[in-house]
Amino acid sequence: MKRIGKRLRSNLVIYGLVVVTYVVLQMVMGSGHISSSLQGQLVPICVYVVMAVSLNLTIGVLGELSLGHAGFMSVGAFTGVVACIALEGIISLGAVRMAVSMLIGAACAALAGVLIGIPVLRLSGDYLAIVTLAFGEIIKNIINCLYVGIDHRGLRISFLTSAAALELAEGGRVIIDGPMGISGIKKLSTFTMGFALILITLFIVLNLIYSRSGRAIMALRDNRIAAESVGIPATKYKMMAFVTSAALAGAAGTLYALNYSTVTAAKFNFNTSILILVFVVLGGLGNILGSIIAATVLTILPEMLRQFNDYRMLVYAVVLILVMLATNNDDFKGLLYQIRGKILARNGTKGKEGAVNE
Amino acid sequence: MTFLSYFISGLSLGSIYAIIALGYTMVYGIAKMLNFAHGDVIMVGSYICFFAVSRWNLPPVVGVLLAMILCTVLGVTIERLAYKPLRSAPSLSVLITAIGISYFLQNAAQLLWTSNPKVFPSVVGDGSVKFFDGRLSISVITIVTIATCVVIMVALTWFTSKTRMGKAMRACSEDKGAAQLMGISVNHTISVTFAIGSALAAIAGVLLSSAYPTLMPTTGSMPGIKAFTSAVFGGIGSIPGAMLGGILLGIIEIFSKGYISTQLSDAIVFAVLIVILLVKPTGLLGKQITEKV
Amino acid sequence: MKKTLSIMLSMLLLLGVLAGCNNAGSSSASAPGGSEGGQPAAPSATAFKIGGTGPLTGGAAIYGIAAQNGAQIAVEEINAMGGIQFELKYEDDEHDAEKAVNAYNKLKDWGVQISLGSVTSTPAVATSAETFADRIFALTPSASAAAVVEGKDNVYQMCFTDPNQGSASTQYIFDKKLGNKIAVIYKNDDVYSKGIYDTFTAKAKELGLEIVSATTFTEDSQTDFSVQLTEAKNNGADLVFLPIYYTPASLIFQQAKAMDYFPKYFGVDGMDGILALEGFDTSLAEDVMLLTPFNADATDDLTVNFVKKYQEAYGEIPNQFAADGYDCVYAIKQALEAAGCTPDMSAADICEKLVATFPTITFNGLTGDDVTWAPTGEVSKSPKGMIIQNGAYVGMD
């Protein structure tokens, strides 16, 4: 009974923090005291939070290193936008159309997750990492050669040619134009949509972690052989975590793509996958709240560093290294423990949450 | 004839991947970390050699030696400042630090040397050996690269199996704790590994830039990723595996461009990689580790 | 336990960021006008604030930095003349649409009145949609994709659109009978390269030019061109069309020479800069033809003066991006004067006036004489055919 209480409380902290942040930001925006710079970053922050939380499911909870998470984002982004444009005449309400597009984006990314999950399950460690990296590159390359258009006959798809090969009828529109990606997207993403997606993501991920399946997944992470020996089907649970993670990344991809008027396959490259990996590691493996905070901070940080002009990315690199060194430094840890000890002494039992699944 | 000339192109591209992969696999095998900054150390090595030869008019040999020395110093400094404090940290923290170093080197290079590309001088010589009335030619740089690869591979294999330091390295890679108990200084051994890895990076940098002579702050990143792929392909940690993986990757890349589609070549290379890893889950020459139950 | 630590650390960082955020907010609020509700800040009374985004770091930095430097020289010249005064600010977009929108928002907080858009195409498509929504006039120096100006009345281009360059190149090759069998090598993941390629082939089909080989490369594989060149050679191509930037082109020349293949080469404006490449053996580029609006070796006063100033300030020979940046500022100056704008007007008012004025002006600059703009935002100027001889550009007409 006590365990459930503790878990509930730690979950409530996460939900609470997200909701409070949203409400505060909405109030600030309502009063007009927000810079364009920060306002413009709200949707990308939501996207990266969802990406980080979903990747944490693969890395922290399932315990497998993925270097191709941006690939799922890419699948979600492109299928989501194609769906959104195709549905333009059918669903007129923007928010509903976007929600449907996100669902389609998530479904397609989940499908990609199943496809890539089959080889992933056979491998482990760095070999698995390289397969996910390879997957990300393959997706990027394929979308660069893909042409999709729409006219009154429906969607038309052509591969390895050019937009002209689509032979669109009068009034048709090219949607994906190979390396040019999609341009002229109507901006539908809003902060509220992003916030809703974060809540849904948290709901799915936290419920999965604390379910029977979640315990099975973590058992596989901690000791696969022991887990299998007590009859946990490794394939099923690994697949479950991996595909869920992919689907959420797909939804985030749709949200991302609908926030800008253009999206190209080149955006979702190895560097983007690494960026999200950095969020997860910095926030702490398996730590959902940590991922949320790290994604937020590291998305805002490069913008805050603009005053350094040319030295901006250099400073960013130094900050990254120093943070990694500090979080693993014993003296620094000792200092934090002391601070934490003092807070604990003052608040009694209240400081007992934190570690989600140690 | 086209087949042969493609094969030779593949060999020359592959030999470049191989020589970078050797440095990767060396560091991975001993320190068990993916050194994502390796490609950027290569870039620094190329720039040093470029400045020595083109700007200061030093003889190429001096340029290469200077690059090796400065890269070794750089590698050891990076190791001391950024990796050593993380010896007991989780491997992913080290990975992120390596990525930070990679960003740092790229941006520092841009500030120091501007983003304007520079053309690397011909350090190795740019002639070629011709066969069949000139219908087939192998450039000198390809021959030099392959020869260097073989020499380095043999030397590293000898070094790790015969010398005291090499044995210490293997001991560390097997079991750090046990090695420590046997009186091996793990920290020192890993530092030496980095020194060797960085010197190799300098050589790889010179050869990479001689073969493909445009030099930019981002020159090292893509070959770095390809070399990482090669190293895993051949079985990461295995020295002959890195060389085999690199050369095969180059050949597959050229063949898929030549016979299937230039547009899809990246996807084909990686798809082949996935298929091979499905058949041999620990790479071509990787150790098959049986798990104890 | 470690997780708690990292949370606390992240919290500290967040606090720092928020503190920084507050500072930024308060400083802009204390500036005259301030920034409210995400609206552009009110203008200062003395100088027009112009701003642009471009890649100042990363692999594409060379283009962004050049455009920034070119614009900076123009601003200094204009400010020294008296009359209209400018304040210029460039923000880094890392050649990424997301970062470009962030950079643009930063410029908005600064109070930008006229935008120089973005330097490269993909980011420019994203920022031009924002400038359109915010009613800020934008003139991009070098973002050449058609999608940048499409459907946006207040976004203009200083450079040719990619489709124009493609069809102009075909026409030129056809008129001058430069080649019978053409091979094309283009960059498949690049908006610019693919854009030119598409119209080039369409126009070639129309004119009856034979394209015997079309091969590609990508960002990830732009080192080895042996396959592309072998294919061109085996198909007997006598002209290789290269709608790409000069960095990969320099490798192509070198590798073609190594395999004893000496076709004619035809490039577009991205080829400009190849002669300024440090350490490049210019004999490799002998007889390379290109269509470009700018060349640094021209002898007219304007170019000589610009090249001299650029070299003094930055120690390099300017490329066409620098020239485009320079021309943008002068074109904006001319339009502002013609429209009678003053620095105390709001961005939206300036925008409406410039939208009305721009199609009416005729501009003479580094990248062309008698340059005019269509109301769609597309520029009309005549590209110059150049050929490289003895390490220098020579006009072909």
Please list, residue by residue across B235-268, b when 16 or more beta carbons sit within 10 angstroms of its beta carbon and e when fewer do. bbbbbbbbbbbbbbbbbbbbbbbbeeebbbbbbb
Residue B288: which region, alpha, beta or left (left: phi > 0; alpha: psi -120 to 50)? beta
For C260, the enclosing helix (H) or strand (E) is: none
Ranges of residues in chain C whose predicted pLDDT is under 70? 1-45, 397
Q: How far is residue A225 from each of residues A121, A210, A233, B286, measured CA to CA in Å?
A: 14, 22, 11, 22
| Residue B97 and residue B82 in contact, taking contact as beta carbons nearer than 8 Å | yes
Give tens-digit pLDDT for A7-46. 788 888 899 999 999 999 999 988 888 888 899 999 999 9
Interface of B with A in 29-68 (CB under 8 A): 34
Q: Is C388 helix (H, G, I), strand (E, B) or coil?
A: strand
Q: Does B218 touch chain C (CB under 8 A)?
A: yes
CB spacing of A123 vs B281 below 8 angstroms: yes
Both tokens of B17, joined, read 């991947």
Q: Is C185 helix (H, G, I), strand (E, B) or coil?
A: strand
Q: Is C46 helix (H, G, I), strand (E, B) or coil?
A: coil
d(C-alpha B156, C-alpha C276), whole Å = 42
Cα atoms found within 13 Å of the Cα of residue A132, Cβ hemisphere only: 31
CB spacing of B92 vs A65 below 8 angstroms: yes
- Phi, psi at C154, each rounded to 5°: -110, 20
Measured at the CA of A237, the angle between CA A235 and CA A239, to 5 degrees, comes to 65
Q: How far is A328 from chain B (nearest CA, A)?
A: 6
CB spacing of A324 vs B96 below 8 angstroms: yes
> Which amino acid makes up residue C363?
F
Both tokens of C45, joined, read 């009374």
Q: Interface pTM (ipTM) of the complex?
A: 0.87
Per-residue pLDDT at A352 exceeds 50: no
Residue C215 bridge partners (DSSP): C185
Interface of C with A in 51-80 (CB under 8 A): 56-58
Q: What is the CATH number of domain A2-352?
A: 1.10.3470
Q: Does A266 touch chain B (CB under 8 A)?
A: no
By CB atoms closer than 10 A (0-12, 13-18, 19+), residue C276 is: middle
Q: How far is B288 from chain C (nearest CA, A)?
A: 31
CB spacing of B116 vs C278 below 8 angstroms: yes
Both tokens of C379, joined, read 């520029």
- pTM score: 0.88
- Phi, psi at B128, each rounded to 5°: -150, 155
Asked, for residue B233, whether it belongs to a domain, the answer is: no
Q: How far is B229 from chain A (nearest CA, A)?
A: 7
Q: Does A270 touch chain B (CB under 8 A)?
A: yes
Residue of C nearest to A270 (CA): C220
| Residue C157 and residue C372 in contact, taking contact as beta carbons nearer than 8 Å | no
Q: What is the pLDDT of residue C39?
A: 41
Beta strands in chain A (DSSP E): 146-151, 154-159, 173-177, 182-183, 262-263
Helix C121-134 with C191-207: angle, nearest 10 deg = 100
Give tens-digit pLDDT for A192-219. 999 999 999 999 999 999 999 999 999 9
Q: How confident is the model at residue A346 (pLDDT cuts 50, 70, 90)?
A: low
Q: Does C209 touch chain A (CB under 8 A)?
A: no
Q: Is B68 helix (H, G, I), strand (E, B) or coil?
A: helix
Domains of chain C are 48-160+301-381 (3.40.50.2300), 163-292 (3.40.50.2300)
d(C-alpha A144, C-alpha A230), whole Å = 46
Q: Does A113 touch chain C (CB under 8 A)?
A: no
* Rg value, chain C, Cα: 23
CB spacing of A290 vs C6 below 8 angstroms: yes
Asked, for residue B268, whether it belongs to a domain, the answer is: no
Q: What is the pLDDT of residue A106?
A: 97
* Cβ count near B232 (within 10 Å): 32
| Residue A308 and residue A317 in contact, taking contact as beta carbons nearer than 8 Å | no
d(C-alpha B22, C-alpha B3), whole Å = 28
Residue carrying structure tokens 């939206």: C348
pLDDT tens per residue across all 293 residues of chain B: 788 889 988 998 999 999 999 988 888 888 878 888 999 999 999 999 999 998 898 999 999 999 999 999 999 999 999 988 888 888 888 888 999 999 999 999 999 998 888 999 887 777 777 777 767 778 888 888 889 999 999 999 999 889 999 899 888 888 888 888 988 888 899 899 999 999 999 999 999 999 888 899 988 888 888 888 898 888 878 889 999 999 999 999 999 999 988 888 889 989 988 888 888 888 888 776 665 55
Write out the residue range of the structural domain in which residue B182 sits: 17-218
Q: Which of B103, B229, B270 sits opposite A317 (nearest CB)?
A: B103
Q: What is the pLDDT of residue C19?
A: 41
Asked, for residue B7, whether it belongs to a domain, the answer is: no
> Which amino acid makes up residue B173?
S
d(C-alpha A311, C-alpha A330), whole Å = 30
Give tens-digit pLDDT for C135-159. 999 999 999 888 899 889 999 999 8
d(C-alpha B78, C-alpha A205), whole Å = 38
Q: How far is B168 from chain C (nearest CA, A)?
A: 32
Distant-in-sequence, close-in-space partners of A3: CB < 8 Å, separation ≥ 6: none
How many folded domains does chain B comprise? 1
Q: What is the pLDDT of residue B221?
A: 87
Q: Does C206 touch chain A (CB under 8 A)?
A: no
Q: Which residues of C touch B88 (CB under 8 A)?
A: none
Tell me the pairing of strands C379-380 and C114-118.
Answer: unpaired
d(C-alpha A130, C-alpha A110), whole Å = 20
Both tokens of B226, joined, read 């390809």
Q: Which residues of B touch A316 (CB under 8 A)?
A: 103
**How many contacts (CB atoms, under 8 Å) link A and B?**
119
Q: How far is C188 from chain B (nearest CA, A)?
A: 7
Q: How far is C322 from chain A (nearest CA, A)?
A: 18
For C184, the enclosing helix (H) or strand (E) is: strand C181-187
The residue extents of the domains of chain A are 2-352
Pick the closest to residue A310 from C22, C58, C155, B164 (CA basis): C58
